[in-house]
Structure 1
Amino acid sequence: MIVYKDGSWQPLENTSIPVMDHGFLYGVGLFETFRTYQGSPFLFQDHLNRLREGLSSVYIEWEEDDKSLQQLIGMALERNGLTDGVLRLNVTAGISNWGLPNETYTKPSTLLFTRPVAPVQDEGRRAVFLQIPRNTPEGSVRLKSHHYLNNLLGKREIAKHADAEGIFLTREGYVSEGIVSNVFWVKNNTLYTPSISTGILNGVTRQYVIHLASLLGVKVEEGTFTKDDLLGSEEVFVTNSTQEMVRIARVDEVEFPVIRHPLFDRLKELYKESTNRQLQSYQQAKRVEIQNGKDKLISE
């Protein structure tokens, strides 16, 4: 794997973070994971907006501009021999003194790396409720930060179920989110999902699925729900940016057979249409960019 770090490209095994980087010492760093479709990163601006807001909240000044980042994505795919990939954009606080600072981090490190898109299990996945509770956010909202131990321990808990997703409950017993996903379920043509007040990450794909549901005229309920609320539903699915939308066929011992004309399928079709529309816009923009370049050469 070839990795981008602060202006240079190098093999993964040669890429390092200094010991005094506060992303390493104190976990002061954020990341975004997203995927491309024919080279076009989907909902990229939404990911960047969330990243920038989060960096500001942890006092990291980050100056990378959108166009440069778009170019880096293309280069990351090309250098790793990929047409499409899952990309992770990491911003870590950078080097500072030993101790907790009061000043703003003005020299963060930026890393970008990629891997192939893994196949998604179409027939539905298994999910299990975790015993370990979801921790509360470090600040006012959950950030996609380097503080990932709660997720890691959740994954360890279900190690014997490698293909399953673990679903966290809050300490109060409310459904929160998956280890690497947001959770949705359907009952009586209403779409339910835990509120961000439960301490979940407000996923980019989560927000987009709620938007798609509104386009279909489907009622969406965000709130605090128990395990029984989820287990008494008609269909369950999880979302994240790399796997998009994944149907859950079973939660613990409760099975969710595929129903006729499921809302999940309607939402997934809209999602696919959205990726196709963005790809068409991206390709059109690239054609205009190429043509403008040719026109400039001719005029010179």
Structure 2
Amino acid sequence: MYLLHNFQVVPEQNFTLSYTNRAFQYNDGLFDTIIISNGQIRFLPDHLERMQRALQILQIQVPTELQNTDVLLPLLQNLAEQNRLSHQTGRLKVHIWRSPGGLFTPDHHTAESLITLQPQATFNKNIPRADFATSVQNTYSPLSFFKGPFAVNYVLASLEKKHRQLDELILLNDQGAVSEALIANIFWVKDSILYTPALQSGCIAGIVRKNVLRLGATENLKIEEGLFTKTDVLSAETVFTSNVTGLRPIQFVGQKEFSIHHPILDQLNTLLFTD
């Protein structure tokens, strides 16, 4: 396998990481997940915007390669070609961290990076069983909109999901409001209105979530963001998750069954994921 280390292609066996790495020492960085399919990337400008905003908050300089899609896309396409995935669907994982130096107070603000590419795993289009998390809670902060600072929360939630033999877990925040699914945002439909938790719930500012909200203006969809309860979700007609792999309807939340078909869900799938 080939990697992009500081935007240079290197064989996996030649890659090393020092113990001084600040992502390892202090979790001083971020990561993002991007889907590449047949050499093309949906929503790449949105991914870059979120990473740029996160790096600015972390006071890490934004690498030149992350400032322009015309610069980054050929690098990612070349990585796919090197890994013989040019004509397949792959999952890119982008790690950005601060250069080594210092203890909690860093010596530098420059960035280092690693981008890996794996074939995208197949999964069911529907989520058979979900329930609300009991072991972990989300907390809103200026850092909660991007991936990385609270990753251990999702690790613990994944362990709960596995222990309870569920297919998905719905996280609440520390005030009891619905926040998000385990690795996706969450939406539900009731009376032709689409609902989703606000960022103040502590959820990730998901890329597909952002594009669904955009469609609210252009396609005359009624969408409400807010702080909602479990009862709000359980009273819905349809519940589904969203991330860059797609929209996935949930069949059961606890003992409550939901329809996995809805005109609004079909409309969003067509608008977002049909070429």
Shift of 1:249: 0.9
Aligned partners of 1:145 and 1:200: how far apart in 2? 13
Aligned pair 1:80/2:80, yes or no? Answer: no
Deviation >6 Å, runs of 4+? none
Change (3 A) 1:192 1:138: closer
SS for the counterpart of 1:41 is coil
Change (3 A) 1:210 1:109: same
* Contact 1:36 1:86 (C-alpha < 8 Å) held by counterparts: yes
Deviations 1:50-108 (A, max 9, x none): 101110111111222323321211111111111231111111112112x21165512x2
Amino acid at match of 1:58: L
Deviations 1:21-69 (A, max 9, x none): 2111110111221112321111101100110111011111122232332
Aligned pair 1:247/2:252, yes or no? Answer: no
Deviations 1:103-158 (A, max 9, x none): 5512x211111111222312443221110232324535432125410000000011
Q: Give % identity.
A: 29
Aligned pair 1:28/2:18, yes or no? Answer: no
Deviations 1:215-266 (A, max 9, x none): 331211100111010011000000111x21111111111111345x531111
Which residue number corresponds to residue 93 of structure 1? 98
Change (3 A) 1:198 1:14: same
Change (3 A) 1:89 1:214: same
Q: How many residues are paired up?
A: 270
Shift of 1:163: 6.1
Aligned partners of 1:181 and 1:154: how far apart in 2? 13
Kindly report which structure 2 residues correspond to 1:1-300, keeping only aligned pairs within 5 A, or say none.
Answer: 1-65=1-65, 66=68, 67-82=70-85, 83=87, 84-97=89-102, 99-101=103-105, 104-106=108-110, 108-137=111-140, 139=142, 141-160=144-163, 164-241=167-244, 243-259=245-261, 261-273=262-274, 276=275
Amino acid at match of 2:81: E
Structure with higher Rg: it is: 1
Aligned partners of 2:7 and 2:194: how far apart in 1? 44
Q: Which runs of 5+ in 2 are unaligned?
A: none
Shift of 1:13: 4.9
Change (3 A) 1:195 1:123: closer
